[in-house]
Amino acid sequence: MYAEHLLDRELSGLSLPFGMRGRALSAETAFADNDHASRLRLGGVGSLTAGTINRPRSTHGAPTGWELFQRTLRGSTGSLPPRAFEQFASGFSPLVQAFEIWQAATTAFTPASRRTLDRFRDMLNVLCTSVDDNHFRALHKQLTALLDDEQELADASVRPSMASFAGLIQFLQRNKGLKHPGLSLDQQGRFVAVWQPRNRAKISITFKGLTSANWIAIDRSGPEAMRGSGAVSMMAAGTIDERFCGWLLP
């Protein structure tokens, strides 16, 4: 009870973005994404009792979202007793992943004048515990190729979506063992993961946000064209038509 009370009080004093305040965390966290607003439903906060704290570790030297969140909290609540902090933290253990995403978005949004590429690199660095090294390195290269030309993005009226990028990372994190996809951006700034098993065949997954994605596949390599499309479960690549599902594997 002490920790819960403290949490409410301390969080209500924090300058958290997007309307997050203490127990409001149990409802939803909105993270603004340029013009789009993606809502990440967090579910119940759970009781603030001591327990095992799941603290992801960065494997790439960058602070994790969890570590950044700790710093944020400590910086704003200098008198917060360590034990209370531990109690507080334990209550959030199921939400670490959500906070990673939230914190990444927050970090990447500040200041707004930063280059698009830098903001997405920051986000990738913060989320790096969620993806394996191969995905991490490849995503860095791909972000550079796609986002390095700020003027071109402005000329084309493309505003890359952070929610979409977080969705991509979430998908890669939840579907271990996938071959890393090629990457492109659509006109709405959504990230599109593409696997090309051979020439004139590909499957694309367009990440519309954190929780929503569509797949579309085409094979024009043989005499008879094969086509398919549908919605993707963010939890399992297996929801893709079995004719094309294997294209995502190494």
Give me the least distance between CB of 70 and another protein, in Å please: 33
User: Cα(233)–Cα(213) distance, rounded to whole angstroms?
Assistant: 7
Q: How far is Cα 102 from Cα 108, in angstroms, rounded to an integer?
A: 10
Structure tokens at 108: 């990447």
Cα-Cα-Cα-Cα dihedral of 97, 102, 104, 105, to 10°?
150
- Using CB under 8 A, pick the residue from 25, 153, 213, 248 that binds another protein: 153
Q: What minimum distance in Å lies between the beta carbon of 183 and another protein?
A: 5
* Binding residue for another protein, selected from 148, 235, 236, 243, defined by CB under 8 A: 148
What number of chain residues touch another protein (CB under 8 A)? 36
- Contact window for another protein (CB under 8 A) among 16-24, 58-66, 102-110, 175-183: 175-183
Q: Within 13 Å and on the Cβ side, how many CA atoms surround 61? A: 0
Restricting to residues 183-202, name those near another protein by CB under 8 A.
183-187, 192, 194, 196, 200-202
- Report whether the peptide linkage leading into residue 111 is cis, meaning its omega lies within 30 degrees of zero: yes
Residue type, 85: F
Judged by CB under 8 A, does residue 226 bind another protein? no
For residue 149, state whether it binds another protein (rule: CB under 8 A): yes
Is residue 122 a contact partner of residue 140, using CB atoms and an 8 Å limit? no
Looking at this protein, which amino acid is placed at residue 26? S
Whether residue 42 contacts residue 25, with contact meaning beta carbons closer than 8 Å, is answered with yes
Residue 18, phi-psi category: left (phi > 0), alpha (psi -120 to 50), beta (remainder): left
Distance of closest approach, residue 218 Cβ to another protein, in angstroms = 5
Does 242 engage in binding with another protein (CB under 8 A)? no
Instruction: Decide whether 225 or 235 has the Cβ nearer to another protein.
Output: 225
* 141 binds another protein, rule: CB under 8 A: yes
Query: Could you say whether residue 224 binds another protein (CB under 8 A)?
Result: no
Distance CA 166, CA 110 (A): 17
Minimum Å gap between C-beta 174 and another protein is 18
For 135, residues 6+ apart whose C-beta sits below 8 A from its C-beta are: 169, 172, 180
List 179, 236, 243, 249, residue binding another protein (CB under 8 A): 179
71 touching another protein, by CB under 8 A: no
Q: Are the C-beta atoms of 32 and 18 separated by less than 8 Å? A: yes
**Residue 239 Cβ vs another protein, minimum distance, rounded to whole Å:** 19
Least Å distance, CB 233 to another protein, is 20
Interacting residue ranges for another protein, rule: CB under 8 A? 138, 141-142, 144-149, 152-153, 155-156, 158, 179-187, 192, 194, 196, 200-202, 204, 216, 218, 220, 225, 227, 229
